[in-house]
């Protein structure tokens, strides 16, 4: 980094230089400004633009298509699309049935609820959802979270009826939350769960879920209700005398089978259906093995009777009274946010692969309605699980009709096939869960975070270890707290930097990023990379003052021309509040006391408007000291230094207004 001498163009010594003036935007009525702010906050995608210049009947059609996406694609649906959706639907049904039963057990709920939850919610989503690839169902993380939170208040074994009713109520409140976020377009709240948070949280939850399945693998009847790794491992190894070798052998065998087929499908993507069919195959083989060997008499636990028939209504089962309602609300809010974040992330991921967009607010509304309707029809929390959606995507689904096909397959199972699951060993369900969970431990994403952003890696690991060594709630709270702390740090400590000139150009850039850029003698050019408001005004005042001190010391040491002008590049300052304006006034006073001159470059419209209203520009700065670009500001200051030889601290010359 060095200094540069400028050669001014011919005529530069003229006493009056022409520059573009910085204009303040036209003042807008308060209500109009408020309307614009609300629109940009809640409707950044402008969903109403499609209704412009349309007649009444067309607006009705567009409204139906907006709120019910099925009305948009259904008229164009054909047999060719149905063939693809039929194959995909049958494929995901083969995965949904064993997973549904397994995850219900994980939530300490009757296994039949897993099938109920794979019947009604997919039908609701097919009408309201905007993703073509999302396969609706229960998830291991959501099931674990719900089970862990409800178990703190009610013991599922001692009072199964109350526990079941609380699960329905929590699902109802989860749906209300999700639908409300969609209706009021408040989906940005979910964005506080960053990618790093989700990676760590999912990995930690998957680790805990996998370890808890050791209960089923070893055939243990009594197990800890805690989810942390220490409690789980203590519970496992304190009961070594109760381990059942028959169950362990069976579990390890099926786990090897599941992992082997998944590895094969990963290496041979066209055989994706092999891994998709393996869970159901494992259930069938396990049931046959138990049936013919009578393994249930030798310590191998089985599901037992599953109730035949479709979902019974559960409206009357809701718990809206103390002291349990608060537990249901808390569980619903937390599980609802987690389910929403996972479902939208999965939907957007697959939409990106197929080059189409999904509406996040529509998805929230769809998730909310399917959980509200589900809670009234004996279902518990559902979303778009990654494993099931990946199978749906790989199976070649074209529309959400694949969810309808899956729901019909599950309905057929509920009506006619549930007795066949009587001999299904629990150890097989544990193996299915472990196999699915290992895929959620995304160590490659963690490595990527380490290579790209160490702080994001810290957030990820905080979430992971918080879940593994604390609880699911602790891990989530720690990760979100660190993410918010980082956000506050970014806002309260914005970056500032010295800018220098790129040789042979009028371009000015950060001298740290471009070491070959050169500072301008007599000028200190500073860039501010954030809006100026109460959270960072104090820091910016101190930091700008320090930059000036350091520059004056450097100039004094090197013997260069003394500092005369401080140019603030306001290009990245999109807004300023009253605290920021007070900071600017203090900076102006500090600079004036040092016989320097403050210059603003490229202030944005909102900033100029507020600085004008506060009288800062007219009474303190002077409009002649505002410029459209850093280049113009530097040129004007150099002109003043070399030609007019004006005292910087005095009132500026009116050459900028000519």
Strand partners, 509: 500
Question: What pLDDT does residue 4 have?
Answer: 46
Average pLDDT over residues 191-210: 84
Residue appearing with tokens 């309605």? 369
- Label residue 644 by pLDDT band (50, 70, 90): low
Average pLDDT over residues 470-485: 82
Angle at 562 between CA 556 and CA 568, to 5 degrees: 110
Burial of 416 (0-12, 13-18, 19+ CB in 10 A): exposed
- Tens of pLDDT, residue by residue over 219-259, are 887 777 777 889 888 888 888 888 888 888 888 999 999 99
Round the average pLDDT of the chain to a whole number and report it. 86
CA 560 to each of CA 189, 556, 557: distance values in angstroms, whole numbers, following the listed order = 52, 7, 8
Q: Is the pLDDT of residue 646 over 50?
A: no
545 Cβ contact list (under 8 Å, min separation 6): 587, 590
Average pLDDT over residues 456-484: 86
Q: How many residues does the chain have?
A: 658
Domain ranges of the chain: 78-485, 495-642
- Label residue 583 by pLDDT band (50, 70, 90): very high
First-to-last alpha carbon distance for the chain, in angstroms, is 35
CA 77 to each of CA 82, 90, 354: distance values in angstroms, whole numbers, following the listed order = 8, 19, 18
Pick the CATH number of 495-642 from 1.20.58.480, 3.30.750.24, 3.40.190.10, 3.40.50.300: 3.30.750.24
Q: Is the pLDDT of residue 104 over 60?
A: yes
DSSP 559: T
Average pLDDT over residues 339-368: 87
Q: Is the pLDDT of residue 2 over 60?
A: no
- Label residue 473 by pLDDT band (50, 70, 90): confident
Sign of CA dihedral 364, 320, 113, 407: negative
Cis peptide before 186 (omega within 30 of 0): no
Q: Is the pLDDT of residue 145 over 70?
A: yes
Q: Is the pLDDT of residue 648 over 50?
A: no
- Other beta carbons within 10 Å of 226: 18
**Which of 45-54, 362-371, 557-566 shows the lowest mean pLDDT across its residues?**
45-54
Question: What pLDDT does residue 326 have?
Answer: 92
Q: Is the pLDDT of residue 439 over 50?
A: yes
Contact 393, 353 (CB under 8 A): yes
- Label residue 16 by pLDDT band (50, 70, 90): very low
Dihedral, CA of residue 452, residue 458, residue 460 and residue 465, to nearest 10: 150
Question: What pLDDT does residue 537 have?
Answer: 94
Question: What pLDDT does residue 196 have?
Answer: 87
Identify the CA nearest to 376 among candidates 173, 151, 180, 153: 173
Q: Is the pLDDT of residue 330 over 60?
A: yes
């Amino acid at each position: 980094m060095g200094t540069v001498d400028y050669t001014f163009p011919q005529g530069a010594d003229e006493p009056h230089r022409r520059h573009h003036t910085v204009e303040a935007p036209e003042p807008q009525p308060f209500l109009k400004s408020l309307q614009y702010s609300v629109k940009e906050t809640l409707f950044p995608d402008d969903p109403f633009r499609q209704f412009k210049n349309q007649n009444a009947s067309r607006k009705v059609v567009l409204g139906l298509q907006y709120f019910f996406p099925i009305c948009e694609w259904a008229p164009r649906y054909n047999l060719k699309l149905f063939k693809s959706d039929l194959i995909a639907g049958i494929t995901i049904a083969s995965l949904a049935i064993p997973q549904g039963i397994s995850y219900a057990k994980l939530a300490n709920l009757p296994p039949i609820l897993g099938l109920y939850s794979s019947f009604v919610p997919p039908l609701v989503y097919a009408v309201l959802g905007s993703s073509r690839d999302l396969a609706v169902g229960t998830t291991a993380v959501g099931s674990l979270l719900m089970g862990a939170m409800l178990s703190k208040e009610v013991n599922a074994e001692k009072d199964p009826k109350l526990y079941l009713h609380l699960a329905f109520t929590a699902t109802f409140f989860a749906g209300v939350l999700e639908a409300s976020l969609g209706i009021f377009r408040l989906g940005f709240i979910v964005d506080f769960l960053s990618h790093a948070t989700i990676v760590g949280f999912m990995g930690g939850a998957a680790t805990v879920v996998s370890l808890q399945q050791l209960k089923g693998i070893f055939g243990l009847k009594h197990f800890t209700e805690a989810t942390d790794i220490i409690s789980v491992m203590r519970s496992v190894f304190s009961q070594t005398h109760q381990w059942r070798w028959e169950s362990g052998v069976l579990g390890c065998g099926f786990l090897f089978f599941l992992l082997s087929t998944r590895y094969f499908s990963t290496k041979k993507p066209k055989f994706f259906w092999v891994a998709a069919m393996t869970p159901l195959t494992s259930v069938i083989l396990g049931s046959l093995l138990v049936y013919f060997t009578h393994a249930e008499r030798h310590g191998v636990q089985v599901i037992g009777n599953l109730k035949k028939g479709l979902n019974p209504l559960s409206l009357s089962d809701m718990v809206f009274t103390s002291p349990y309602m608060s537990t249901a609300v808390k569980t619903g809010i937390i599980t609802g946010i987690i389910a929403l974040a996972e479902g939208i992330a999965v939907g957007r991921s697959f939409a990106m692969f197929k080059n189409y967009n999904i509406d996040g607010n529509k998805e929230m509304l769809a998730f909310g309605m399917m959980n509200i309707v589900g809670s009234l029809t004996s279902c518990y929390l559902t979303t778009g699980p990654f494993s099931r959606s990946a199978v749906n995507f790989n199976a070649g689904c074209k529309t959400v009709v694949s969810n309808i096909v899956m729901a019909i397959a599950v309905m057929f199972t509920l009506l006619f096939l549930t007795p066949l699951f009587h001999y299904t060993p629990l150890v097989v369900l544990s193996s299915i869960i472990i196999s699915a969970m290992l895929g959620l431990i995304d160590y490659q994403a963690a490595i990527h975070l380490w290579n790209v952003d160490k702080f994001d890696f810290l957030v990820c690991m905080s979430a992971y270890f918080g879940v593994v060594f604390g609880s699911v709630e602790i891990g989530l709270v720690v990760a979100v707290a660190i993410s918010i702390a980082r956000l506050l740090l970014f806002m309260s400590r914005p970056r500032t930097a010295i800018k220098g000139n790129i040789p042979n150009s009028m371009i000015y850039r950060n001298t740290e990023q471009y070491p070959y850029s050169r500072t301008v003698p007599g000028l200190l050019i500073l860039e501010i990379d954030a809006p100026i408001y109460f959270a960072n005004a104090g820091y910016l005042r101190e930091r700008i003052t320090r930059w000036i001190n350091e520059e004056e010391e450097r100039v004094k040491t090197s013997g260069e021309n003394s500092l005369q002008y401080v140019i603030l590049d306001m290009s990245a300052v999109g807004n300023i509040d009253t605290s920021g304006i007070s900071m600017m006034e203090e900076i102006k006073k500090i600079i004036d006391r040092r016989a320097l001159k403050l210059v603003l470059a490229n202030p944005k419209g909102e900033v100029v408007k507020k600085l004008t209203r506060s009288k800062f520009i007219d009474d303190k700065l002077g409009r002649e000291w505002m410029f459209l670009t850093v280049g113009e500001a530097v040129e004007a200051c150099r002109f003043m230094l070399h030609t007019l030889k004006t005292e910087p601290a005095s009132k500026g010359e009116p050459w900028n207004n000519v």
